[in-house]
Structure 1
Amino acid sequence: MDNIYAIIPVTTFKNAKTRLSPFLSEKEREKLLKVMLQDVTDTLKKYVDKIFVISRDEDVLSYAESLNVNTILENENSNLNKALTQAMKLCKGKTKRIIIVPSDIPLIGKTNVQMLIDASKNLDFIIVPSKGGGTNMIIMKPMAIRTRFEGFSYEEHLKVAEKKNLNPQVHDSFFMALDVNTAEDLGEIMIHGKKTHTRQYLKELKVNVESHRGIERLKVTRDD
């Protein structure tokens, strides 16, 4: 039996990250999603036995295959949590643990992922919160819980893990908490994302970041 598999759910590349639409075109957002997924898979390949990308979008699955990771075609009439259940059922009996992460956390490589995986050998449930009350990583046995992503999922995951006596352990990480949704998030990637594909792409788009004293901490702009 393998030690640990990674599961990355991806909905679609097209017309995603609409909160970035005033700053990036649809094609630019699509490419951004691809380079972020590349950063996530590049990091996880160093630590896990297999990576599975699950999606109902053939473009996503084709791109994932180009990254040399395994793919799962999501069942029809599914949703994020049903897709994760589908993937976990496939992994059950083949690996001791699974690590669930989203595809839009390009700074994952700045976090000590090996430390978390090592800790999971003696812990039943490790969770990393995201900004805004979400969840950006869970490490557990396949099907230890049914996930409750969407909304304030961090508290929901803690509650269900505690109910199952899994003694959930929280790892608070700035880098892993940063899922990219706003222009200010792009500024954080420009500051902290050295050697990532995402930062390189943002540089190609001529994205700039400055410290700012206004409502937002960072002023993020693009050269004409």
Structure 2
Amino acid sequence: MKTCAIIPVSRFAHAKTRLSPTLSPSEREGLLRAMLMDVSEALRRHVDRVLVISADADVLEYAYSLGVDILEERGRKDLNGALEQAAEFCIPEFERVMITPSDIPLIGKTDITELLHRASHFDVVIAPAKGGGTNTLIFRPGSMRLRFGDCSFFEHVSEAESRGLSVSVYDSFYLSLDVNTAEDLGEIILHGEGTHAREYLRKLSFIVRPSRGSDRLEVSRSF
């Protein structure tokens, strides 16, 4: 089955504001660029096309430089509206789409071949994020409504089952790790060998140690 991977990307200027205590605006943009490179490179090895959708001209220009296809959001859309636009765009050529956010830089360390194999036997394949969100969703475009948002993993499972679609849940540490906090940066440093995101954080002099407080990891700069 022909598969198009869809990566939604927000505006670089608005990227990852929860990391503002740790990274400057330019550093957050640099990290997003590195993560998008990791995600797009991993997916290109396994799917027929990678498509980045965004309302940001800078994002689209950068994605094009990475060798992936681009699609500009039409009108003022929320995330689900933008993804539905992208999925509809794919219908004439692709039997299934694989939605993956741009902030899961460890995706290349998971078994993407297994994900796609499951999609040959189930109507919907879903990989949960660690906070209850959805970090990968594979389905036939037009077969279900998208429910990205808070606790979207459960919303997507419920949506699929309500339509009589078979569901396979793929649990993976690497897929569950999206980047929102300083502790997430520590996980990239620990587990992201060979990724652009880890290399970028190393250039910013970040180091990670076990934490004695409430967090698992203590992330700081070495200068």
Would the TM-score normalized by the shorter structure come out above 0.5? yes
Percent identity between the two aligned chains: 50
Q: CA–CA distance in 1 between the matches of 2:14 and 2:3?
A: 32
**Cα offset, 1:213, TM superposition:** 2.5
The residue that corresponds to 2:90 in the other structure is 91
**Cα offset, 1:47, TM superposition:** 0.2
The residue that corresponds to 1:211 in the other structure is 210
The residue that corresponds to 1:222 in the other structure is 221
User: What do residues 58-94 of structure 1 show as CA deviations (whole Å, max 9, x unaligned)?
Assistant: 0000000000100001011211101111111111131
The residue that corresponds to 2:36 in the other structure is 37
User: What amino acid maps onto 1:166 in structure 2?
Assistant: L
Q: CA–CA distance in 1 between the matches of 2:14 and 2:95?
A: 36
Q: CA–CA distance in 1 between the matches of 2:85 and 2:17?
A: 27
Q: CA–CA distance in 1 between the matches of 2:14 and 2:97?
A: 29
User: What amino acid maps onto 2:33 in structure 1?
Assistant: K
The residue that corresponds to 1:109 in the other structure is 108
The residue that corresponds to 1:146 in the other structure is 145
**Cα offset, 1:52, TM superposition:** 0.5
The 10-residue stretch of structure 1 (10-19 or 127-136) with the greater mean CA deviation from structure 2:
10-19
**Cα offset, 1:15, TM superposition:** 3.1
Gaps of 5+ in 2: none
The residue that corresponds to 1:59 in the other structure is 58
Q: CA–CA distance in 2 between the matches of 1:213 and 1:115?
A: 37
- Secondary structure of the equivalent of 2:12? coil
Q: CA–CA distance in 1 between the matches of 2:83 and 2:215?
A: 35
Q: CA–CA distance in 1 between the matches of 2:202 and 2:87?
A: 37
**1:114-153 alignment to 2 at 5 Å?**
114-153=113-152
Q: CA–CA distance in 1 between the matches of 2:110 and 2:212?
A: 28
- Secondary structure of the equivalent of 1:36? helix
Q: CA–CA distance in 1 between the matches of 2:98 and 2:21?
A: 33
Structure 1 moving runs of 4+ over 2 Å = none
The 10-residue stretch of structure 1 (21-30 or 88-97) with the greater mean CA deviation from structure 2:
88-97
Q: CA–CA distance in 2 between the matches of 1:103 and 1:58?
A: 16
Q: CA–CA distance in 2 between the matches of 1:105 and 1:32?
A: 11
TM-score (norm 2): 0.98
**1:168-187 alignment to 2 at 5 Å?**
168-187=167-186
User: What amino acid maps onto 1:223 in structure 2?
Assistant: S
Q: CA–CA distance in 2 between the matches of 1:27 and 1:177?
A: 26
Gaps of 5+ in 1: none
